[in-house]
């Protein structure tokens, strides 16, 4: 039987080398392309009519839009509106990636690779820091100094705040990656139980059905968490506590 | 002790991070349910926060799991 981690293996589909770098088209890249195409189909075909009384499809597109718009407005306030396209793209990309990854046999979850999630998290981190520096200049560093800190605690608080700020991209990326890896590995391990137990395999099989439901919840939840944490970081950069 | 055996034990110990995650998740949903019983009308407002707390608490446990994987497969 294949190892439960074999599902995360990256396979080269079209070998490609440019100037010594391996930029082959892999199954990971294939699924990123599928995700983007699926999102574009969902959004464009759903809004094609743009009716005043929306159909079910159009309603679901509008629900996604309003969900992210409300989330951004509630956490980061009015000024964050111009960053809405980025947050919305991030949310839809992770959501569709996780959900397409849940397809049995065919699905490959590219968010289960730290390279992918860390790239997104680093982009968010660097972007937010640049926004904060551009908006507040040198005052941005007051972010590391919470209001009302007694002076005799400064030597302790400032390093803690700096470390917690710098660990943001790590925690943001590892959260998504670890959730995806743990969930999919767990499903495969229980799948192994079904095969091993023979006739009595129906018991873990029922459990797998429940776990699949949990994994669908986690897939949506992690997209939400990634997006809302990005909003919170944006809020910190825009309003400095 | 052989390195292979030590790796297995280390991975097992790393998984104890899930104790804390379990306590945290239980705490969050316990608090959510007791708050929802006290004031059912306001429950939908907290639900987003409860979910966010659940995800954050779960993630800390999963960091331990990642360390276990790193120990096992490197």
Q: What is the pLDDT of residues A132-180, one digit of tens each?
A: 999 888 888 888 887 777 888 888 888 888 888 888 898 889 889 988 8
What is the per-residue pLDDT across B35-52, written as a single tens digit (0 to 9) for each? Answer: 999 988 888 888 878 888
Residue A1 lies in a domain: no
Distance CA A4, CA A8 (A): 9
Q: In terms of pLDDT, which residue wins out, A19 or A241? A: A19
Contact A178 B66 (CB under 8 A): yes
Chain B interface, best mutation among A174, A175, A231, by max B CB count within 10 A: A175
How many Cα atoms occupy the beta-carbon half-sphere of B29 within 13 Å?
10
As a dihedral over the C-alpha atoms of residue A176, residue A180, residue A186, residue A187, rounded to 10 degrees, the angle is 150
Q: What are the structural domain ranges in chain B?
A: 3-73
How much is the average pLDDT of A62-88? Answer: 89
Are A178 and B63 within 8 A, CB to CB?
Answer: yes
Quick check: A239 contacting B, CB < 8 Å?
no
Mean pLDDT of chain A: 86
Can you give the pLDDT at residue A1? Answer: 61
- The predicted pLDDT at position A93 comes to 93
CATH number of the domain at B3-73, please?
Answer: 1.20.20.10
pLDDT of residue A75: 85
Residues 6+ apart with CB under 8 A from A87: A68, A71, A72, A227, A230, A231, A234
* Domain containing residue A48: 6-239
User: Are the CB atoms for A169 and A121 separated by under 8 Å?
Assistant: yes
Over 80: is that where the pLDDT of A122 sits? Answer: yes
Domains: count for chain A: 1
Q: Hey, of A7, A118, A181, A182, which one would you mutate to test binding to chain B, going by the most B CBs within 10 A of its CB?
A: A182
> What residues form DSSP beta bridges with A18?
A21
Q: How confident is the model at residue A39 (pLDDT cuts 50, 70, 90)?
A: very high
**Is A50 inside any structural domain?**
yes
CA A175/CA A222 separation, integer angstroms: 8
Q: Which candidate, B50, B23, B54, places its Cα nearest to that of B35?
A: B50
Which residues of chain B does A224 touch, with a Cβ-Cβ cutoff of 8 Å? 51-52, 55
Q: What is the pLDDT of residue A86?
A: 92
Position B33 scores a pLDDT of 92
**In chain B, what residues touch A177 (CB-CB under 8 Å)?**
66
User: Would you say residue A121 lies in a domain?
Assistant: yes
pLDDT at A216 (0 to 100): 92
Specify if A47 maps to a domain: yes
- For A178, the closest of B52, B65, B73 (CB atoms) is B65
State how far residue B59 is from chain A, nearest Cα, in angstroms: 5
Q: What is the pLDDT of residue A9?
A: 80
């Amino acid at each position: 039987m294949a190892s439960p981690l074999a599902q995360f293996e990256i396979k080269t589909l079209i070998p490609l080398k440019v100037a010594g770098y391996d930029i082959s088209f892999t199954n990971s890249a294939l699924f990123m392309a599928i995700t983007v195409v699926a999102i574009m189909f969902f959004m464009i075909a759903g809004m094609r009519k743009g009716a005043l009384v929306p159909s079910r499809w159009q309603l679901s597109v509008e629900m996604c839009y309003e969900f992210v718009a409300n989330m951004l407005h509630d956490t980061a306030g009015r000024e964050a509106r111009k960053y809405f396209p980025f947050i919305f793209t991030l949310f839809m990309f992770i959501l569709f990636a996780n959900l397409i990854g849940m397809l049995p046999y065919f699905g490959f979850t590219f968010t289960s690779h730290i390279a992918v999630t860390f790239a997104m998290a680093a982009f968010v981190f660097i972007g937010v820091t640049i926004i904060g520096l551009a908006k507040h200049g040198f005052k941005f560093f007051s972010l590391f100094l919470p209001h009302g800190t007694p002076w005799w605690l400064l030597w302790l608080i400032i390093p803690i705040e700096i470390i917690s700020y710098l660990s943001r991209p790590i925690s943001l990326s590892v959260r998504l990656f670890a959730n995806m890896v743990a969930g999919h590995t767990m499903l495969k391990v229980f799948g192994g139980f079904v095969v091993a137990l023979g006739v009595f395999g129906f018991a873990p099989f029922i459990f797998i059905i429940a776990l699949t439901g949990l994994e669908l919840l986690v897939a949506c939840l992690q997209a939400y968490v990634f997006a809302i944490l990005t909003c919170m970081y944006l809020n910190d950069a825009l309003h400095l506590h | 002790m052989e390195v292979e055996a030590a790796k297995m034990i280390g991975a097992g110990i790393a998984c104890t991070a899930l104790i804390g995650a379990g306590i945290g998740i239980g705490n969050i949903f316990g608090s959510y349910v007791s708050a929802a019983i006290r004031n059912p009308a306001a429950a939908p407002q907290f639900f987003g926060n409860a979910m966010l707390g659940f995800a954050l608490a779960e993630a800390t446990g999963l960091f331990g799991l990642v360390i276990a994987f790193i120990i096992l497969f490197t």
